Amino acid sequence: MEQKLATLKARLAEIADLHATGALLGWDQETYMPDGGAAERAEQLATIYKIAHEKFTADEIGELLEAVQPLAEQLDDDADDAALLRVARRDYDKARKLPTDLVVALSRATSHGVESWKKARAANDFAAFQPHLEKIVDLTIQKAEVLGYEEHIYNALLDDYEPDMKISQINPIFRQVKDATVPLVAAINAQPPIDASFLHRRFDPKTQWDFGVAVVKDFGYDFTRGRQDKSAHPFTTSFGVGDVRITTRILENYLPSALFSTMHEAGHGMYEQGIAPSLARTPLRDGASLGIHESQSRMWENVVGRSMGFWQHYYPTLQKSFSAQLGDVSLETFYRAINKVTPSLIRVEADEVTYNLHIFVRFELEQALVTGELKVADLPEAWNEKYRAYLGVTPDSDTNGVMQDIHWSSGLIGYFPTYSLGNILSMQFFNKMVAENPAIPAEIARGEFGTVLGWLRENIHRHGRKYTPAELVERVTGGGIDAQPYIKYITDKYTEIYGS
């Protein structure tokens, strides 16, 4: 049986190598590849992932998993091998359920979907995108039916991003956040707006880059096992625990963009860098879920990076780097400006308070789409209705409304709630960390992050994908997902900033 386990691990390692190779091709595509490479690169990626899929869904993998099952039952639940067999079994059963023709149909529909979305978005022409989205929704429903689910069809889709999570767990949590946020936003709107115009002065890109790098080095992002490059949309990718890369985007006329996206991606990157080396070349070398991943990026970006303590330490350096732009701006004014709350149309530009409302709009609409309660044709009006109700704004176009995100066109239905789960979890983890280490806020105000990163490594990062998100939250906090710490955090912080 030991021999079978060794064979299984060798096969899984090869599959992990193929995935890492695909990720490297994807990273290159977004950073350095000339435009001319696009068509051939798409074929190269398709080939790599096809081989990986074929190797993983081969009968041999099923036979090996079957053969080592008695061993899995003897192992301690927390052992690496036990987790490896649990996760591999789970992934294998899911992958085998999907018929190849459905996988191919989805892949074709989404590549046409993204192309159509780009054009339709530029032309503000939802009608042109509608048949593509109808096809994608239809195939997604088929996929959910094939995979199977309990309670609600959406659970089959959510499971790809949050293993084992159910919307019956998420709905009440999101409702609490929504019920607290809508009146908070209304109260903020009744206050005089914060003047953040100085953030739109011209900030030298090289100086922005250097400042961001210095901050994430202080955080503990390891440049000997990573690097930062530029891309149109910031992202993090990983080819192994020894090579985790982040990207950023610099806007000359808007300082917060690169600053906070660099911190955000470094949060993702440090998670990947913190995964135990013993999990290398296995399916466990990954985050527990997208929500857990996002809890890391948002903690560094928002809870740490938008805090007063952080800027007490860093603002004098930033001010020195941009003396012409920030010389006349006090710490207090800067802090208020980077935390300005504005109900807006665009999710990716949203502040910490309104961000979740953008997510709830999408989460509710995609549930209605996959149950058939909402037709794609009626989606733009339903979208605008929810923006009026939750944010008090009405999209001026479908470009700035229902067509603003790439997700649905690329088949990512069930993905959006992970962003809000990340926000909520970030405060549960942070509170637990500070309860165990009360000196942390003072350390942050001195630019020291060793205790924070050490705690995250020990409690979250090193485990990789060994535990489901619910198991990990239970291990770390002793309970389940809880919205109250996050609600208290935004209520206290923004009531203080707005004095309402």
CB 153 within 8 A of CB 167: no
Cα(290)–Cα(343) distance, integer angstroms:
25
Give yes or no for residue 356 binding Zn ion (CB under 5 A).
no
Give the binding range for Zn ion (CB under 5 A) out of 106-114, 248-256, 297-305, 477-485.
Answer: 297-305
Give the binding range for Zn ion (CB under 5 A) out of 99-107, 296-304, 427-435, 436-444.
Answer: 296-304
Residue nearest to Zn ion (CB): 297
Minimum distance between the CB of residue 105 and Zn ion, rounded to whole angstroms?
29
Give yes or no for residue 116 binding Zn ion (CB under 5 A).
no
Minimum distance between the CB of residue 362 and Zn ion, rounded to whole angstroms?
16
One-letter amino acid of 80 = D
Quick one: 81 exposed, middle or buried, by C-beta within 10 A (0-12, 13-18, 19+)? middle
Give the binding range for Zn ion (CB under 5 A) out of 124-132, 226-234, 291-299, 336-344.
Answer: 291-299
**Residues 6 or more apart from 419 whose CB is under 8 A from it?**
294, 355, 356, 359
DSSP character string of 450-489 = HHHHHHHHHHTGGGTTSS-HHHHHHHHHSS---SHHHHHH
Minimum distance between the CB of residue 236 and Zn ion, rounded to whole angstroms?
7
Cα(38)–Cα(154) distance, integer angstroms:
33
Name which of 30 and 385 has its Cβ closer to Zn ion. 30
Catalytic site includes residue 471: no
Which candidate, 213, 219, 228, places its Cα nearest to that of 453? 219
Per-residue contact flags (x/-) with Zn ion for residues 246 to 285, judged by CB under 5 A:
----------------------------------------
Name which of 116 and 297 has its Cβ closer to Zn ion. 297
Minimum distance between the CB of residue 70 and Zn ion, rounded to whole angstroms?
40
Name which of 274 and 380 has its Cβ closer to Zn ion. 274
Return the SS3 of 248. Answer: strand
Return the SS3 of 72. Answer: helix
CB 255 within 8 A of CB 488: no
Cα(90)–Cα(145) distance, integer angstroms:
17
Name which of 297 and 420 has its Cβ closer to Zn ion. 297
CB 383 within 8 A of CB 375: no
Name which of 297 and 367 has its Cβ closer to Zn ion. 297
Chain center to CA of 62 = 31
List the structure tokens of 25: 């091709």
Minimum distance between the CB of residue 396 and Zn ion, rounded to whole angstroms?
27
Minimum distance between the CB of residue 387 and Zn ion, rounded to whole angstroms?
23
Count residues near Zn ion (CB under 5 A): 1
The 10 Å Cβ neighbour count of residue 450 is 11
CB 264 within 8 A of CB 297: yes
Name which of 19 and 268 has its Cβ closer to Zn ion. 268
Residue with tokens 């301690």: 76
Minimum distance between the CB of residue 395 and Zn ion, rounded to whole angstroms?
24
Name which of 282 and 295 has its Cβ closer to Zn ion. 295
Cα(161)–Cα(289) distance, integer angstroms:
6
Among 297, 302, 339, 426, binds Zn ion (CB under 5 A): 297
Q: Identify any residues that bridge with 238 across adjacent strands, giving them in sequence order.
A: 244
Name which of 292 and 452 has its Cβ closer to Zn ion. 292
- Active-site annotation holder among 60, 63, 265, 436: 265
Minimum distance between the CB of residue 198 and Zn ion, rounded to whole angstroms?
27
Cα(316)–Cα(445) distance, integer angstroms:
12
Residues in contact with Zn ion by the rule CB under 5 A: 297
Q: Which residues are catalytic?
A: 265
